[in-house]
Amino acid sequence: MESNKGRIFYLDFIRVLAIFLVILIHVTAIDTTLHIGSTQWHIVKLINFLAHVSVPLFFMISGALLLNSKKTSSLSYTWKKRIPHVVIPFIAWSLLSTFFIAIYAHTFSLPNALKMYAVFLYQPVSPTLWFMYPLIGLYVLSPVLRGLVEGAKTKVLWYAIAIWMITNSLMPTLSVFLPKDISHALDFYPGAQFYLVGGYVGYFILGYLITKLDVKKINGWLLAILMLVAMYLGNAYQVKFPKTADPWNESYVTSFFILIMSVCAYVLLQKWGERIKSGKVKSTFSFLSPLVFGIYLVHNIFILFLEPWFMANLPYTGLAATFTRYLAVAALSTLVIWILSYIPGVNYVLTGKTRAKKRA
């Protein structure tokens, strides 16, 4: 794996592209509810669906990094270094998001804020922050998972992934095709859930396993075709079964079509990232990569305030308006986090990063 001062470039490459896909999901969300059935709607639906590979990409990046690191085995390092790095900015932006949401809705009051935080462990203050809950859970479990992958044969890990794909992805995806009277035939009794390889753990382990593959030998064209087919079929599946299109449902991110798209996208981006030789391109992605976490945490606030203004004031509509809103949210989110990253103390609380001191 190619690295620069301890960093792996293709992971920075995937990470940066993934965050801008996350923003694309949330900006285009409103467009998927407008002009239903029109050509514009079909295009936006496809774009929005494809962009959902971003969440699995982040889980796979985390798995590739944490499960390959010897430091992950240390409970002390995990709790003193890694968990605060994600939890502190998450809590800080949750506090700020609550304030901005209340200001936007003209409902700010201490009692209302306290009500939101009373269920903080149960639900995010903003729907876009849902990703932090499984991510923190995986960070907490990472020493256990590190011990699992370290002591298991690769063949056994692929066996676990196969179980995960069948029970958490394929079967739930197929279940909607069943008649109503046997609609739960592919659902497991709650007491029989495969918790060990449930939820997003599969993506986490997949990220680790892909680092053990020689991706150069994998046919990129075949991956691209498979990804596009999965995108087309998955989007058609959503249109036919609208209830499966709930992005806040865990089974949505682990649906079979998104799983196939995500694995193909990850390997393709790794292959492309490893081929990049341009120093300017590498510098750009290396510059943006440390800002990604902060961009994720702040972008929902910009969407909240900018989208209504743009939709009311732009002199044009359609895809041009959609991408104008998208570029504005992406650019301002990046700019704000970049500025905050230079403020001592604040940079760690709001971005999870501190800038290294220059040597004399």
Whole-prediction pTM: 0.91
**Residue 60: which domain range?**
3-279
The reported pLDDT for the residue numbered 123 is 83
- Structure tokens belonging to residue 283: 């510098």
Q: How far is the C-alpha of 157 from the C-alpha of 211, rounded, in Å?
A: 13
Range with lowest mean pLDDT among 65-69, 75-79, 244-248: 244-248
Confidence check: pLDDT of 1 > 50: no
Residue 339 in domain: no
**Number of structural domains the chain divides into:** 1
Assess if residue 349 is contained within a domain. no
> Does residue 287 sit within a domain?
no
The CB density around residue 13, as the number of other CB atoms within 10 Å, is 23
Q: What is the mean pLDDT of residues 239-246?
A: 77
What is the average pLDDT score of the chain? Answer: 88
Whether residue 155 has pLDDT greater than 60 = yes
Whether 71 is covered by a domain: the verdict is yes
Residue 228 pLDDT exceeds 70: yes
Inside any domain, residue 300: no
Assigned domain for 172 exists: yes
Q: How much is the average pLDDT of 61-65? A: 96
Name the least confident of 127-136, 181-190, 249-258, 333-342.
Answer: 181-190
**pLDDT band at 191, cuts 50/70/90?**
low
Q: What is the pLDDT of residue 108?
A: 64
Q: Give residue 238's pLDDT band: very low, low, confident or very high (50, 70, 90).
A: confident
Tell me how far apart the alpha carbons of residues 166 and 136 are, in angstroms, rounded to a whole number: 25
The pLDDT tens digits for 4-57 are: 456 899 999 999 999 999 999 999 999 998 888 899 999 999 999 999 999 999
pLDDT at 275 over 50: yes
Bridge partners (DSSP) of residue 7 are 4
Which alpha helices (H) appear in 73-200, and where do they start and end? Answer: 75-77, 83-105, 110-118, 132-151, 154-164, 171-175
Q: Is residue 94 part of a domain?
A: yes
Residue 265 has pLDDT above 90, yes or no: yes
Rounded to whole angstroms, the Cα distance separating 126 from 94 reads 8
Q: Does residue 286 lie in a domain region? A: no
